[in-house]
Structure 1
Amino acid sequence: MPTTGRFVGAVLFGALAWYTSLLIIPLFPEGTNLGWFQEVNTLFGLIAGWSVAGSRAGTGYVSAFSYGLTAMVAMVVMALFFNSTVVMIEQSLRRRYGGPGKAVTAVFELFMEYGSMMLTPAIVGTLVFGGIGAGLVVEFFAKRYP
């Protein structure tokens, strides 16, 4: 059921994903074709904000810290897994892997590679403080406009 908390959560976590994607793009090698990178990540932010933060909104400001961080982690994991899977499929179409087992293993290797690439103070700080801040704002709107 749509609520103000779900809507605000989707918008804020979508914006957080969009901005974080902008911070990540310069970390890729020059000339990397990122395609719909920002848009897909924004979609995962919308999903995490709606389903994780928005569904828990209205439970108090202390809870807002935890569901803000939970939504942020869910957003990052979904985006990393999806982007790693897309890269693996592109590479498997070029016959880079010797079999399906190696291709599946490559998804998790790419997941770890991209995850470690994101471990910069600017990106981690943006995600942590953005997740907490978005959780608090979601809670504010959920309490005021149920």
Structure 2
Amino acid sequence: MISSNKLIAAISLAVVGGFVAEFAKPQMPEGSNPGYMTLISAAVGLCVGWRIMGPRAGRDSSIGLGMLGVVSLVFWGLAVFGTIEMLRLAMRRRFDEPVEALEMIVTIALKYGQYLAATPVYITLAVGIVISGYVTNFAYRRWG
């Protein structure tokens, strides 16, 4: 069911995910191809906002709600990018066993997590916590 708080949470986390991806790209190694990193991050933000953050609007404080959304965005974003990169490597037959491929998801996700260790990314995440939590709770109080 469509609700204003789900829609606002999805849009706000999609914007945060897109900005975080744009600020993380310069941290990547020289010559790497980020591909659709911004669009994938925005799509993950859309899903996390709709499924996790939106239904909890009105129950938590704005900061708590924003923290839940942004931490979930980072976790699921790293999981998605780890899975995508693992599948790319698996198609090139880089793994001998399926368990090795599944273990590589965590390794790749941690490597991508290092790209988030930059001041612009931290600032974007902090601002995203405040704004996304506030506008989602505002939408819940106003139209929910």
Give the Cα separation in 2 of the matches to 1:125 and 1:39: 20
Q: Which residue of 2 aligns with 1:93?
A: 91
- Greater shift, 41-50 or 28-37, is seen at 28-37
Q: What SS class does the counterpart of residue 61 from structure 2 fall into?
A: helix
Which amino acid counterpart does residue 10 of structure 1 have in structure 2? A
Answer yes or no: is the 8 Å Cα contact 2:6–2:51 preserved in 1: yes
- Give the unaligned 5+ runs of structure 1: none
- Please point out which of 64, 67, 84 is paired with 1:66: 64
Q: CA RMSD in A?
A: 1.5
Answer yes or no: is the 8 Å Cα contact 2:79–2:105 preserved in 1: yes
- Give the unaligned 5+ runs of structure 2: none
Q: Which residue of 2 aligns with 1:75?
A: 73
Give the Cα separation in 2 of the matches to 1:117 and 1:42: 17
TM-superposed deviation, 1:73: 1.1
- Please point out which of 100, 103, 113 is paired with 2:111: 113
How many residues align? The count is 144
TM-score, with length taken from structure 2: 0.91
Q: Which residue of 1 aligns with 2:26?
A: 26
TM-superposed deviation, 1:75: 1.1
Aligned sequence identity (%) = 26
Give the Cα separation in 1 of the matches to 2:49 and 2:21: 16
Which amino acid counterpart does residue 95 of structure 1 have in structure 2? R
TM-score, with length taken from structure 1: 0.90
Give the Cα separation in 2 of the matches to 1:7 and 1:102: 39
- Please point out which of 117, 129, 134 is paired with 2:132: 134
TM-superposed deviation, 1:117: 2.2
Answer yes or no: is the 8 Å Cα contact 1:11–1:49 preserved in 2: yes
TM-superposed deviation, 1:24: 0.9
